[in-house]
Each structure stands twice: as C-alpha cells, then as structure tokens.
A and B are shown apart, each in its own frame.
Chain A
Amino acid sequence: MNTNVDTKTATPPRQTATMQGDTRAPGSDTPSLSIAMEERKAFRANPAKASADKLDFWYGSNQALKNINLVIPEHQVTALIGPSGCGKSTFLRCFNRMHDLQADTRYGGAITLRPDNVNLVGPETDPIEVRMRIGMVFQKPNPFPKSVFENVAYGLRLRGINNKADLAERVEKALRGAAIWDEVKDRLNDSALALSGGQMQRVCISRALATEPEILLFDEPTSALDPIATAKIEELISELRQHVTILIVTHNMQQAARVSDFTAFMYLGELVEVDATSKIFTNPSKKATEDYITGRYG
C-alpha cells in the first residue's frame, strides 16, 4: 500500500500574506519579526509543501521552540541555520515526530502538510503515517547491518512490498536517485557497512528515497564526510529537489549558501529571519542574522 498522496496532481493552496505576517514574539502584543513584503513575494512564487504555524515545543519544562511560523516551499531546498542549541534540529525532528520517542515532550501549534492539510504534530495524527511521508537522513551514515539491497528495500518491505521484481526495480530507482547505483550495482549483496562514508550516506539517502517521501529531512548530512563526498551529496540534494521538498539543518554556512533556495535563521528557539538564500547571504534584514553568518557571535 502506498500512502503517498500524489502531489503532482493536487494543487497546494497558495500562501496568504497572513500566514507569515502574524508572527508575534512571545509575551508581546505587537507583531515582531514579521516578514517583509519582498520576502513574502519570494515565498508566494513557490507553493507551500508544509507550514509551521505558531509551533511550540517543550522538552519537559524547557521550551525549545517558540512560536515558529515558517513556510516550506514545495520542491525547494530550505536550510535551517543557527548556533548550537537554537532549536534547528528540534524543529527538523518535529516533521517526522521523532520527539515522540522521548518521554515528557510536548508540541504546541501545528505543522500543516499539504495538500491534505494534515497536522503533523497533532495528537490525532499517527506518527507512523507521518514517517511514511517524510524521510530523514542523519549526520552520521547509519546503514542497517544488512546488504546494500536490503537497506534500501527495508522501508518497502515494511509497506508490504515483497514482489521480487517490484522490489528490485524500486531499489535500483532509489539507488540511481541517490547517484550511487553505478558504484554499488555489482555489490548489492555486500554489507552496506563495507562501503565508504560517502557511499554509506548515499545508501541512507536511497533508503529514505525508496519509499518516495514528500519531504526529505537532512540533519547535518555531510559533517562526517570528506570534501569530495560532501560535494556529491550537495549535488544530489540539488537534483533531488525536483522530486521532493527538502529541509536541511547545517552548521556549514557555505553549504547552506550552496545548496538551499531559502534560508531560515534560528536563535534561542525563535525563528529570526527567513528569506531567499541569495538575500540572506548578501544583505540579510536582521542584525542577528548578519552577525551570525559573518561570525560575530561572541
């Protein structure tokens, strides 16, 4: 059974001005950090795949995300940047409900996935269903101790696909999609753990791609890789966005600049600024953003 919704035929609703306009600082009556007209225009040019609306998140009594309002444009790469502890990974993990695995965590607000307007963090939403639609790639390549083929086929088998020909076809498609087919086509039955770091990471991307997710989450996907492997992953990210919406957390500012279409800067659990990447890295609107990307945080 394929739970994916066909995003190609459905038309996601266009973003309205109020979706970004009513961002308010906690405890404040006046709108603050509201996104300027120019930025709204850039976002309106791309239909929203998902949007965080007044999203809050608590680890116990510690509020890690504060009133996040962010639109994730479809078939675009959105990068999340910010200093350690700013909440960017926490935000990313809300999308596939990874926090549910931890006790005493709480969501507030919503992350709405288009086109069917499912609230990803709603208590009524099944986290397993969410994870079927949203794939994730982690910092360290983490293939299962299985063959390359079985790693990629894993999610498909979970979905009840057991037909050999069908599996083989989908595994090849996923491996090709992650630009690693040529390197592993003769080693499909070898352990994935025998591959190089860059190859393992691309196998992990294949594994995420195999189930045809609508959004792919990358949490520092290249921080454990050498520059060549990094370049391959970055190239891959650029290609993948034709098929899938991408959200990437990175500490590498130049990487955010290279791979993303939009960049969101977070600080202390708040979204400070989001704009076209070219604008953020040449002339950001907020001093906090500029100070961070130019290395002025003391």
Chain B
Amino acid sequence: MSVTESVVMQRTDPTDPHTSSSVDQSVAGLRLHALEMGALVIDQVAGAVRALVENDSALAHAVLAREARVDEYEKQLDRDSLTFIALQQPVASDLRLARAIVRIGRELERAGDEAKKIARFALTLDKAADGSPVLAVSRQLRHMAALSGSMLRAAVRAADEMDLDLARAVLKRDAELDAEFAAALRLVMSYVLEDNRFLRPTIDTIFALKGLERIGDHATNIAEQVLYMKGVDISD
C-alpha cells in the first residue's frame, strides 16, 4: 500500500496536535472559551425558564445580572479569533475552526439574549392576574424548555467533543421543538379569544415560547458549525 493511500479516508480533527505548540495553544484557548461561554448560556437558559415557571424573581434577577458576562465572552471570542487569524494565518481545518468559533459565539450570545427576555418576562409575572395564560401552558413551557435546553447542551457538547453524530442528532430534533411551539401557540391563543383582558400576558407568553423555539434554532446553528469545522458540507 502506498504511503498516501493509507491516509486518504481519514479527516483531520481540529484538535489534532500541530508542529507549532503556539498554534495548539491558540486553538485550545479558543475552544476552551467557547466551551465556558456555552456552559454559561446553558445555565442562563435553565435559570430563566425556572424563574418563569416557578415564579422566582431572585433567580430572574441573577440571570439578568449575568447577561453582561455572556456578551463579554462573545467579544473575547471575536478578538481571539481575529488575533489567531492575523498571527497564525490558519488554513483549512484551523481556519474553519477560527470562523466556526466566532459563529458559535454569536449563536450563544443570541441564545443568552433569549434567556434574558424570558427572565424579564418572569419578573412581570407577579403582576399578572389569576388565570394567566402562562399557567395554562406551563406544561408546554416546561417541555419546550427541556427540549431546547437539551438541544443546547448537546450542541455545546458536540462542539467540545467534535462529535458529528451528536451534532446531527441536534439538527434532527429541531422539527420536534417547532411542532411543540405550534401546539403551545394554538393553546395560548384560545385564551385571548375567550377574554381580551389576557391580551398582554398572552403576547408575553407567546414571546417566551418563541424565545425557547429560537434557542433551539441557535443550538441547531451551533451543531451546523460543528459539522462545518469537520469539513462536512452543510449547504443542504
């Protein structure tokens, strides 16, 4: 067998060591910060949803207070990626990694934004009248929160472990979340049709549900970036 034949079918993993240890350090730093940011956003989403369904305003405040850290992480990833590109001039898998990390940072930041909005909504709930629509769809809210949260966790883990199968599994679950959102929407709409005093809380509830649906989209986008990093065509 020829020398080159033996390596034809394999792919380079972005985590494979380079000859230059400074490149390895840059890559490791980028991945570590993306992972830390991922963990923070997972926490933010879980906290916001719990604040909402358990009517925990202290938790909602804690989520809002940590939002600035999410933004700071995104800026750091952006800066570090740019520095890596300028100084190391990465190509191929390294270049794809640098770009994917920036995109993952952006998706995480947006997921964090959704968590912030849900936390804000949680704070307004105290003032909501009895029979608020949010209570009526609390089962759907919990279910969507569990689904989007687990998609986000899986996407971040796929990025950490460069796990293509896990990334593909995240992509498959997005349709389930979309269907759940459509069902919850129908349920909550019936409220406003019965009594228009609930118009405002109904709209807020819809935004919260939509936020969870968006978090699933961001998880999907992160999973796509994992495939992209490994050189898998994600155009279709």
B89 touches A287 (CB 8 A): no
**Using a CB-CB cutoff of 8 Å, which residues 1-26 of chain B contact chain A?**
1-5, 7-12, 16-20, 23
How far is it, in angstroms, between the C-alpha of A286 and the C-alpha of B4 when the chains are bound? Answer: 9
Do A283 and B19 form a contact, CB below 8 Å, given A25-B4, A32-B8, A291-B12? no
Chain B residues with CB below 8 A from A272, complex form: 4
Cβ-defined contact, B5 with A287, below 8 A: no
Within 8 A of B (CB), among A179-215: none
Is the CB–CB distance between A268 and B3 below 8 Å? yes
- Interfacial chain A residues near B89, Cβ < 8 Å: 254
Out of A28, A66, A287, name the residue touching B12 (CB < 8 Å): A287
How many contacting A-B pairs (Cβ < 8 A)?
80
Whole-angstrom CA separation of A289 from B8 in the bound complex: 9
Identify which of A32, A253, A297 contacts B2 (C-beta below 8 A): A32
CB within 8 Å of B: which A259-298 residues: 267-268, 270, 272, 280-284, 286-291, 293-298
What separation, in Å, do the CA atoms of A288 and B95 have in the docked complex? 17
- Is there contact, CB below 8 Å, between A32 and B5? yes
Contact (A295, B7) CB under 8 Å given A270-B2, A281-B91, A282-B95: no
User: Could you tell me which residues of chain B, from 85 to 109, have a CB within 8 Å of some CB in chain A?
Assistant: 89-96
A294 engages B8 (CB within 8 Å): no
Determine the chain B residues whose CB is within 8 A of the CB of A295 once the complex forms.
Answer: 18-20, 23
The reply to whether B11 and A287 contact each other, CB–CB distance below 8 Å, is yes
For residue A257, which residue of chain B has the nearest CB? Answer: B91
Contact, CB under 8 Å: A25 / B5:
yes
Q: Binding site of B, secondary structure by majority: helix, strand, loop or mixed?
A: loop
Partner of B91, one of A270, A293, A298: A293
The range of chain A's interface size is 20 to 34
Question: Which residues of chain B have C-beta atoms less than 8 A from A270's C-beta?
Answer: 2-4
A26 and B92: CB pair below 8 A?
A: no
Q: Given A283-B231, A287-B12, A294–B93 Cβ distance below 8 Å?
A: yes
Q: Which residues of B contact A296 (CB under 8 A)?
A: 12, 16-19
A294 adjacent to B4 (CB under 8 Å): no
Pair B91/A267 contact, Cβ less than 8 Å: no
Nearest A residue (CB) for B10: A287
**Once the chains bind, are A33 and B3 in contact (CB under 8 Å)?**
no
In whole angstroms, what is the CA distance A294 to B89 when docked?
9
New contact pairs (20) apart from A25-B2, A282-B95, A289-B92, CB-CB < 8 Å: A25-B1, A27-B2, A32-B2, A254-B89, A268-B4, A272-B4, A282-B91, A282-B92, A283-B96, A283-B231, A284-B92, A286-B4, A286-B8, A288-B8, A293-B92, A295-B19, A295-B23, A296-B16, A296-B18, A297-B19
The 10 closest A-B pairs by CB, nearest first: A25-B2, A290-B12, A287-B10, A281-B91, A288-B7, A287-B7, A272-B4, A32-B5, A295-B18, A290-B92
> B residues touching A (Cβ–Cβ < 8 Å)?
1-5, 7-12, 16-20, 23, 89-96, 231
B-contacting residues of A (Cβ < 8 Å)?
A: 25-28, 32-33, 66, 253-254, 257, 267-268, 270, 272, 280-284, 286-291, 293-298
A-B residue pairs in contact (CB < 8 Å), sample of 26: A25-B2, A28-B2, A32-B4, A32-B5, A32-B8, A33-B5, A33-B8, A267-B4, A270-B3, A281-B95, A282-B91, A283-B92, A286-B7, A287-B7, A287-B9, A287-B10, A289-B92, A290-B11, A290-B92, A291-B12, A294-B18, A294-B94, A295-B18, A295-B19, A295-B20, A295-B23
